[in-house]
Amino acid sequence: MSEELFPAFLKLEGRRCLVVGAGRVAESKIESLVRCGGDVRVVAPEATLAVREAARAGKIVWEQRRFEPSDLAGVFLVVAATSSPELHQEIFERAQRAGILCNAVDEPERCDFYYPAVVRRGPLQIAVSTSGHAPLLAQQIRQELEERFGTEYGAWTEEIGRARSEMLASGVPAEERLARLRELCSSRSFNEFRKRAHPEPGAGDNSSGKVYFLGAGPGDPELLTRKAWQILHSADVVLHDALVPPEIVRLAPAEALVCDVGKRCGKKSITQEEIHERLIVHARAGRTVVRLQGGDPLVFGRAGEEMAALRAAGVEFEIVPGVTAASAAAAAAQISLTDRRLASKLIFLSAHRCKGEFAADWKTVLRHDATYAIYMPGGNYERIARELLAAGLDGATPCVIVSQASTPQQLILRLDLASLADVPQPPAPALLLVGEVTRAEAVEAAAAWGDDGQAFENEVVR
């Protein structure tokens, strides 16, 4: 069916609703009609235990017989839930002539309306429909929405409704009323409501805020954890690194204060002390503060310094880990970072060498049975290659550079250590993987191409 549906929520209180059929499929249809206050009558020769119990409890009327045309008299809507297409066609045609809304289960061509997948949070209802094309997809989306919108949304909706009724009763002017309601419906208002409804143990002052260290992952918004996604949606303030993709930053509420506090080597930027001060000031003002960092916040970031500053200031914080760049890069290149045949060790290193940064002594970490995940190689590939060769690695050691992992701009460059010095610098963020696990992948790929598996050819893959 191609026509566009008109979405509407019907009031069924006291209205006659007929369900033809009383099997398993009919159970959920009957239950939803009863929940909404419908006057439900069921016609079917046999019924499931649940339907019989509902009839005994007086919730519905069940007539143990076959459908008759007179059953449609005075009916507002009818649901056909039997195994007979012929009976469904008859009911649909009669309903059309009588102006009665009809739903024949799993038969879109015989439906005036569809049962949506519904998230119920008190007076708040979110209905999802695929116009009868993909009911399972609607159910899947409903499950995702149930995780996004917790049970507290019902009580929050009721609170907003009471405030609206009070303003209408007291004659608050429309423009002022609209401004107040906008504020009541904001993320800030929801956070305050949630704190009142569920105060954290030991939190004597509900006005104090909290800082969340959120891992933004490698770049794909779908790789955010569900917890990170939920917290980001309720943030009052977001302080994010420069390389966090705009698609993730935009997940913050429209009214949130969003600031780029990325630190760029060789360029004037915000100081670390200024970041500490912003985190503390906003949290003390009672705000939900998100410190949004690429990858995992605990891997080659400054979370340690920032946590120390928050502890010293007595500011509460929580860490929500993310997918670190090494895992994302390996997944993109289809490489196992460890392999009991080739690499029993995984070593994380940073090639970043701004003023005051630690300079790695490769000889102290060199292991031939290890995979090296080198973060922030920047434009230092020539230096990295030179130092790794000087430390004792063979020039034929395979390498993989993954730029902008998990994003549409992802670039994978496969080469060996001897060629690393001449590689053009790919866009940041990038990560360099060095080790025999990458050779194993390359040999398998070469075999698939019909190669003899001996030569290791440079290759760029998008």
Cα 75 to Cα 71: distance, rounded to the nearest angstrom: 8
Strand duo 16-20 + 77-80: pairing: parallel
Give the DSSP letter of residue 336. -
pLDDT tens for 386-442 read: 888 888 888 999 999 999 999 889 999 999 999 898 888 888 889 999 999 988 554
Task: Give φ, ψ of 12 to 5 degrees.
Answer: -110, 0
Please tell me the predicted confidence (pLDDT) of residue 442. Answer: 45
Q: What is the DSSP string of 427-458?
A: PSSEEEEESHHHHHHHHHHHHHTT--S-----
How far apart, in Å, are the Cα atoms of 46 and each of 59, 84, 89, 387? 17, 14, 21, 81
Asked if 393 and 386 count as a contact pair (C-beta separation under 8 A), the reply is no
Half-sphere exposure of 222 (CA within 13 A, CB side): 5
By C-alpha distance, which of 244, 228, 316, 319 is closest to 279? 316
Cα 211 to Cα 20: distance, rounded to the nearest angstrom: 56
Cα 209 to Cα 282: distance, rounded to the nearest angstrom: 8
Strand duo 210-215 + 317-320: pairing: parallel
The amino acid present at 451, given as its one-letter code, is: D
- Catalytic (active site) residue 71: no
The amino acid present at 447, given as its one-letter code, is: A
* Helices and strands (H, E) in the chain, number of each type: 16, 18
Half-sphere exposure of 113 (CA within 13 A, CB side): 18
Cα 250 to Cα 238: distance, rounded to the nearest angstrom: 10
Cα 94 to Cα 113: distance, rounded to the nearest angstrom: 16
Q: Which residues, including other chains, have CB under 8 Å from residue 98's CB and lie 6 or more apart?
A: 72, 75
By C-alpha distance, which of 29, 18, 96, 100 is closest to 62? 18
Helix axis angle for 272-284 and 303-313, nearest 10°, is: 40
Beta strands in 314-445 (DSSP E): 317-320, 345-350, 370-375, 398-403, 411-416, 430-434
**What domains are defined for the chain?**
16-115 (3.40.50.720), 205-320 (3.40.1010.10), 327-461 (3.30.950.10)
Asked if 108 and 114 count as a contact pair (C-beta separation under 8 A), the reply is yes
Catalytic residue among 263, 339, 345, 451: 263
| pTM confidence score | 0.59
Asked if 260 and 216 count as a contact pair (C-beta separation under 8 A), the reply is no
Give the DSSP letter of residue 217. B
Cα 339 to Cα 332: distance, rounded to the nearest angstrom: 17
Please tell me the predicted confidence (pLDDT) of residue 52. Answer: 95
Cα 239 to Cα 242: distance, rounded to the nearest angstrom: 10
**What is the greatest pairwise CA distance in the chain?**
93
Please tell me the predicted confidence (pLDDT) of residue 87. Answer: 97
Asked if 120 and 99 count as a contact pair (C-beta separation under 8 A), the reply is no
Burial class (CB in 10 A: 0-12, 13-18, 19+), 197: exposed
How far apart, in Å, are the Cα atoms of 113 and each of 254, 272, 278? 35, 58, 53
Catalytic residue among 71, 241, 296, 416: 241
The amino acid present at 448, given as its one-letter code, is: A
Low-confidence ranges of the chain (pLDDT < 70): 1-2, 198-207, 264-268, 352-363, 440-462
By C-alpha distance, which of 223, 248, 439, 435 is closest to 331? 223
Query: Residue 40 is encoded by which pair of tokens?
Result: 């439900």
Cα 262 to Cα 275: distance, rounded to the nearest angstrom: 10
pLDDT tens for 258-317 read: 999 987 655 557 899 999 999 999 999 888 999 999 999 999 888 999 999 999 999 999
Cβ count within 10 A of residue 52 = 16
By C-alpha distance, which of 425, 375, 366, 427 is closest to 397? 366
Query: What element of type H or E holds 35?
Result: helix 24-35
- Catalytic (active site) residue 39: no
